[in-house]
Structure formats: C-alpha cells, structure tokens
Amino acid sequence: MNIVVMDYKTVTSGDVSLKAFEDFGKVTYLPLTSPKNVAEAIKDADVVLCNKTPMTAENMSGAKNLKFIGLFATGYNNIDLDYTNTHGITVCNAGSYSTSAVVQHTFALLLEMTNRVAKYNEFTHKNGWCESETFSPFIYDIMELSGKTMGIVGYGSIGKAVANVARTFGMNVIVNTRTVREDGITKFVSFDELLEKSDIISLHCPLNKQSEKLFNAETFAKMKQGAYFINTARGGIVDEVALTDSLKSGHLGGAAVDTIAVEPMRNDCPLKDAPNLLITPHVAWAPKETRERLVGIVYNNLKNFIDGKPTNVVTA
C-alpha cells in the first residue's frame, strides 16, 4: 500500500516512532503539508494518515486510489465527510486516547487559577517571602474547590473523567450534553441553568455547527460574576473577542484555554490582550505516553481496516 503521513511533526518530534506503519507498505513521511500542496501529496495514496491537514473535496478529488484516512486525533472537523462517504473512503479517528492527559491538564489549569502557584513561586524567588512580616503572606487570593459547582459541557470520556476528579475535590457537578444518559449520579441540566449555577465551566464537547461560538457575549453574560472558564476542547467553540471583553470587564474571574480558533496563535489574536487568562499552546494531549497510545490506536485502526473489520469509523 502507498501510505502518506501528512503532518508527522504534529505527533512526534522524534521521541515517538511511526515506523510501525511500514508493516503495511511504503510510507512517505511529510513533516507538515501546506493546504495548497495536499492534493499533490496524496494523489497516489491508498492511505492517508493525518492530524489537522485539511482533507477537503478539492484536495481528495484527484486521489483516485484513496481508501482510508486515519486520524491522529479525536476531532474530525478537518475531513469532508460528505465526500468520503460518497466515495467509499473509510475515515477512522482515535477516540479516548487522550482522556487521562486532558483531564490532568484541565485541573492543572484550574488549580493554577485557584491556587496561584506560579505567582507565589515568583513572589518567593523575588525575595518576597524573605522580606515578609508574617510566615504566611496572603499576597494573592486562593480559593477552595470544595463546595464549588463545576459545570461540564459535553459528557464523553473526558467530560466523565473530569466529573469524577471534580467530585474527589468535593465539588458539585452539573452537566449539559447533547445526549443524556442517566447514570444515577450525574445531574444533567439545561444550558442556561449550567451557565447560571456554575462557579467553574469546563468545555469537553466537539466543534460542530451546533457548538461553534457557543460561548459568546450573551453566554458569558449569563455566567456568574467572578466565575472561571476553561477550554481544553476546541477553540472555535468560543468567541474570543467576547471572552476577552468578559475578562476585561471583570465579569469573569479568570479563564484558561489550551485551544484557540487559529493555531498556531497569530499576533492579532484578541486573547493576547486578555487579563486573568492562562494560555497553553494546545499541549493537553502532549505527554509522550499519550502520543504513543495515539499511534497505537491509529496503527490498529489501519490494521483492522485491512483485515476487513474497521474500528472507530467516523460517518457523520
């Protein structure tokens, strides 16, 4: 088989091997592929493996041998599924590979906002503690999570795991999700109720037509005064101007994002000027162990497809 890996630099810096895919045929490794070069790169491919490369109808129309697209990702909004469905191209994603890592990062962001660890560390290293009159200088406010309400938008594997960790902190958990599956533990609420009652809102839903800019000026206005907002899902779910305005006005107490609308960040991104905002560069899924697991899932997806038993197939 002729296999093309479109953007291996988004998966490995050399620390995670992709050589296993050579079990299935000739592999062409491309570090990154500009959208304008995708069509040429895949024209002879039987299999395309990619992360964020745009697989549009235009890009795929000349790839007459293309049978399989394997995603190094859970999200698939870069794939024209109408085209793949009508042309018999199987698309498989890698769901649940990053659950532990994203949950860990979600709480790393939350704890930084509530415990100000970096700020206190800086204060101490700048001799602040040495010059303090008291043994415990209260320079920055710290907030207990116990008793606070965590609102989770989206309740797949990551949302459920975030809820479990939140409960161990003694938090009340409420959830808004498109598909409600009662489990006797989770309290499902309307979107408006979640906005009104949550002290912290964390996003764990996919980006689609329904969720695009779901969090906008109107949405943020409905949130509690001083509430915290976390997005480790997709940047397009958030209106970045509205988030910036809500932070500048002081309506939100703080926010933390790992994803933004255009990545890498551009100099004109409105979030660069937002106060009380933590930004990490889409690294919630980046632990080596997580990426090794991801490659293993994509390998198995391709193997199962070749064996006539495709897994993790994306249809819509």
Residues paired with residue 173 on neighbouring β-strands, in sequence order: 150
- 125 an active-site residue? no
Helix (H, G, I), strand (E, B) or coil at 192: helix
- Estimate the crossing angle of helix 288-306 against helix 99-115, to 10 degrees: 150
Are residues 161 and 103 in contact, defined by beta-carbon separation less than 8 angstroms? yes
Q: Is 60 left (phi over 0), alpha (psi -120 to 50) or beta?
A: alpha
Output the six-digit token pair for 19.
Answer: 């050589």
Considering the candidates 144, 218, 263, 289, report the single residue annotated as catalytic: 263
Considering the candidates 234, 240, 291, 293, report the single residue annotated as catalytic: 234
Q: How far apart are CA 7 and CA 89, in angstroms?
A: 20
- 282 an active-site residue? yes
Cis amide bond preceding 264, omega within 30: yes
Output the six-digit token pair for 53.
Answer: 């490369």
Q: How far apart are CA 38 and CA 51, in angstroms?
A: 13
CB neighbours of 313 closer than 8 A, spacing ≥ 6? 90, 91, 92
Q: How far apart are CA 58 and CA 38, in angstroms?
A: 10
- 263 an active-site residue? yes
Considering the candidates 105, 204, 282, 291, report the single residue annotated as catalytic: 282
Are residues 270 and 240 in contact, defined by beta-carbon separation less than 8 angstroms? yes
**Burial degree of 18 (CB within 10 A; 0-12, 13-18, 19+):** middle
Q: How far apart are CA 308 and CA 316, in angstroms?
A: 21
Are residues 31 and 44 in contact, defined by beta-carbon separation less than 8 angstroms? no
Residues paired with residue 3 on neighbouring β-strands, in sequence order: 27, 47
Output the six-digit token pair for 249.
Answer: 């006005």
The residues annotated as belonging to the active site are 234, 263, 282
